[in-house]
Amino acid sequence: MEMEKSIEDLKEQLDQIGRDKEKYFHEKEELKKKINSIIRDIKAIKGDSDKSSIDVRELKEKRDFHNGKVRELIGKIKVVNERIRELIRKNNIKDDPSRIKDQIEKLELKIETEPLTLNQEKKTMKQIKDLKKDYGKMGELARIYDEHDVLSREIDENRKKSEEYHNKIKEITKDIDYSQFKEKYIEIEELRKKQQEAFNKFVEFKTIHSLINNKIKSRSNHLEKVKEDKKKKKEENEKRKEEIMTKKMEEAEKEAEEKLKTKKKLTTDDLMMLQK
């Protein structure tokens, strides 16, 4: 009875452990589903951002190309500036070709945009002619200033292009919320921790379940063996009793027959044995 009770107690424990094991298994699977769902969300967000990334990458390449041109042109204009300073110093030039050129451009603009009288226009044309004559006398220095102007315009154009591409990049990327990725990755890490904890609990209860189950099998087998041994012992005892009884009866029967032969007095038991 004690063995049977211990087995029943173990079976109750096994049922409880089984419920705990299943609970943590389902918890682990539910967390797995949540993680997979978040991963799908990340892939969807990443898909949209990847499309934008292609455009951004192309725009960055163009912006970087123009930034590179600006750096290259600045290097060239520095060399030109050094040549200008060297020529001014070497030829002791007092007037500045760039100033003369500015004057020419301003006067030409004045003729194009202002309502001048005939005399005023003639006077302005003469000033331009005289300034161009002075500018031409400066020879190599004037040519280098022209080269400087070309480089300066190219720098401005490339800077403008670079700025345009940079503004387009800002426009494309302004709606991309990269914080979403960080938040979702943090959420996944937290869920994975919980999933690992649930899995560890599942393994723990599965191990305990297996140990108790093996203990029940062992005790049940032992109990069956004890019962079998008892049954066998009982059968052997009954057989032995039967053999003893048969032997006694045979002996009593022989004794009765002997009394009959020797004409001794027979007891009631002897008469009963002789009637068999």
pLDDT in tens, 57-98: 888 899 999 999 999 999 999 998 888 888 777 766 666 677
Q: Are 84 and 141 in contact (CB under 8 A)?
A: yes
Q: Give per-residue pLDDT as tens, 199-253.
A: 999 999 999 999 988 888 888 887 788 788 788 888 888 888 887 777 777 766 6
Kindly report the pTM of this predicted structure.
0.42
Q: Give per-residue pLDDT as tens, 142-184.
A: 788 788 889 999 999 999 999 998 888 887 777 655 566 778 8
Angle at 16 between CA 10 and CA 19, to 5 degrees: 140
Distance CA 156, CA 154 (A): 5
Buried b (16+ CB within 10 A) or exposed e, 247-269: eeeeebeebbeeeeeeeeeeeee
> For the chain, where are the alpha helices, taking DSSP H only?
2-91, 97-113, 118-137, 140-173, 179-261, 268-275
Q: Are 35 and 220 in contact (CB under 8 A)?
A: no
